[in-house]
């Protein structure tokens, strides 16, 4: 029996009963962090590691846990799968309420994808996409948004947002669009204008995030792969697993960096003005491979996917092999650990209290294929001189219940400009504000 069929059967069994299967991690998680992580042995078990935390939502009055000296406030609740955040110059907050769009093409492994869909639904990713951007406004600065207005609707799985001049750019699953907007508006009725198409199709990784250059002339867009390691055919990966640069004036684009399996959060490091991203690496090599990471995104660089990981460690599953590409593969800057699923990324502005003054906040959505589970928290990676300088510090935790259910799952992270950190929670359907307790 083919391994893909066995994977599908196991996925179904695990989706129907709350059990973990597959090999258990043999490496302490702390040894998998930093610029030189310890890499585990390659595993190709007949029974893959599947360990899904069933989405449950928060009990009444429940909320995540902040570090000592900080407090958590429910900035907004009752949202529909909030994924991404963008803070406007006037302090209003935009939240993309979004989920995976209906596929335009069928994956080759249709049985496998069917069963994967079952346990992803169990993890909270099976709800319909609201396809809107909602505006949240905290007019009295008490840490709770009094205004919740549907800013624009009928989008296609929107995620990334950026205001450039009087245009709000939104990254849908298949294209970047723009609409006229000025801070203070609470409704956009103008029809979106397409700026450029984005690779879509199967949309194994559907989220498209973006960030604008300092002068607003360019957008940098993260596009994830259409598979785990190219099993849908390399033709389906055209333009995928990459960061694209888009000219805002003309809509023309070019591939800026490649070989990043699923680059989601993208942000500018404030001291060096360098572009950084967090990326989700490949699956099915066991609990101790492959590390997800935080890295600077260098123009023209290739980061290995699908042929290799963490530099030039060859993935023998990929057919055909490509030794020439492997030889050019660049290792990421900083490992966040195996299967933590980093999605959100926001850099501190130097104004928050120590130890969170300089560095990167990372929203770790949490593993589905590691035993024991990893992620399900927001961590802070301290920076020194524009580079990661220490091990991650837990910033927001408590998303898992004592019996292993997911009360929430953190996604997008943003600084609100008022001394707080905002975190989108797509299982808890909330945006949390974390701020110093006074």
**69: which residues sit within 8 A by CB, 6+ positions away?**
353, 436, 437
Average pLDDT value for residue range 127-154: 96
Per the CB < 8 A criterion, the answer to whether 205 and 285 are in contact is no
Please report which helix (H) or strand (E) contains residue 314, including its range. strand 313-314
How far, in Å, CA of 355 to CA of 278, rounded? 21
What is the residue extent of each domain of the chain? 3-436
Average predicted confidence (pLDDT) for the chain:
92
Average pLDDT value for residue range 150-172: 98
Q: Is the pLDDT of residue 47 over 90?
A: no
Quote the pLDDT of residue 247: 98
pLDDT in tens, 183-201: 999 999 999 999 999 999 8
Quote the pLDDT of residue 16: 46
Q: Answer with the residue of higher pLDDT: 248 or 111.
A: 248
Average pLDDT value for residue range 140-151: 97
The whole-model pTM stands at 0.94
Per the CB < 8 A criterion, the answer to whether 159 and 209 are in contact is yes
| 210 bridge partner residues | 221
Quote the pLDDT of residue 21: 65
| 293 bridge partner residues | 279, 335
Quote the pLDDT of residue 431: 98
Average pLDDT value for residue range 215-225: 98
Percent of the chain with pLDDT over 70: 90
How far, in Å, CA of 419 to CA of 425, rounded? 20
- Which CATH architecture is the domain 3-436 placed in? 6 Propeller (2.120)
Per the CB < 8 A criterion, the answer to whether 83 and 409 are in contact is no
Average pLDDT value for residue range 415-435: 98
Q: Answer with the residue of higher pLDDT: 47 or 134.
A: 134
Q: Which two tokens stand for residue 357?
A: 């003054």
């Amino acid at each position: 029996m083919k391994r893909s069929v066995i994977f599908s059967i196991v996925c179904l069994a695990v989706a129907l009963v709350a059990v973990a299967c597959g090999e258990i991690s043999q490496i302490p998680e702390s040894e998998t962090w930093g610029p030189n992580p310890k890499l585990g042995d390659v595993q190709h078990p007949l029974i893959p590691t599947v360990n899904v935390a069933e989405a449950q939502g928060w009990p009444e009055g429940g909320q995540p846990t902040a570090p000592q000296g900080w407090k958590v406030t429910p900035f907004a609740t009752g949202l529909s799968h909030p994924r991404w955040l963008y803070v406007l110059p006037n302090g209003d907050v935009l939240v993309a309420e979004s989920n995976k769009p209906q596929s335009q093409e069928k994956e080759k492994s249709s049985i496998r994808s069917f069963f994967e869909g079952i346990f992803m639904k169990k993890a909270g990713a099976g709800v319909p996409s609201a396809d809107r951007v909602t505006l949240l406004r905290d007019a009295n600065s008490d840490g709770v948004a009094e205004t919740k207005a549907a800013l624009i609707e009928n989008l296609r799985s929107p995620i990334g947002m950026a205001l450039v001049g009087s245009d709000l750019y939104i990254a849908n699953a298949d294209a970047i669009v723009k609409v006229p907007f000025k801070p203070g508006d609470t409704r956009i009725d103008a029809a979106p204008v397409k700026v450029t198409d984005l690779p879509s199709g199967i949309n194994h990784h559907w989220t498209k995030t973006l960030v604008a250059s300092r002068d607003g002339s360019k957008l940098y867009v993260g596009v994830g792969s259409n598979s785990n390691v190219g099993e849908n055919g390399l033709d389906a990966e055209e333009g995928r697993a990459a960061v694209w640069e888009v000219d805002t004036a003309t809509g023309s684009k070019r591939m800026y960096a490649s070989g990043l399996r699923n680059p989601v959060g993208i942000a500018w490091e404030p001291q060096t003005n360098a572009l950084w991203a967090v990326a989700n690496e490949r699956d099915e090599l066991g609990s101790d491979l492959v590390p997800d990471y935080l890295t600077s995104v260098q123009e023209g660089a290739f980061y290995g996917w699908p042929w290799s990981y963490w530099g030039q460690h060859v993935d023998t599953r990929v057919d055909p092999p490509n030794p020439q590409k492997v030889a050019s593969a660049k290792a990421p800057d900083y490992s966040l650990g195996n299967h933590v699923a980093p999605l959100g990324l926001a850099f501190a502005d130097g104004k928050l209290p120590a130890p969170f003054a300089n560095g990167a906040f990372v929203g770790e959505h949490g593993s589905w294929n590691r035993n024991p589970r990893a992620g399900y928290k927001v961590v802070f990676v301290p920076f020194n001189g524009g580079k990661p300088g220490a091990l991650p510090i837990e910033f927001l935790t408590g998303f898992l219940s004592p019996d292993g259910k997911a009360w929430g799952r953190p996604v997008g992270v943003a600084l609100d400009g008022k001394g707080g950190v905002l975190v989108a929670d797509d299982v808890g359907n909330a945006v949390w504000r974390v701020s110093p307790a006074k």
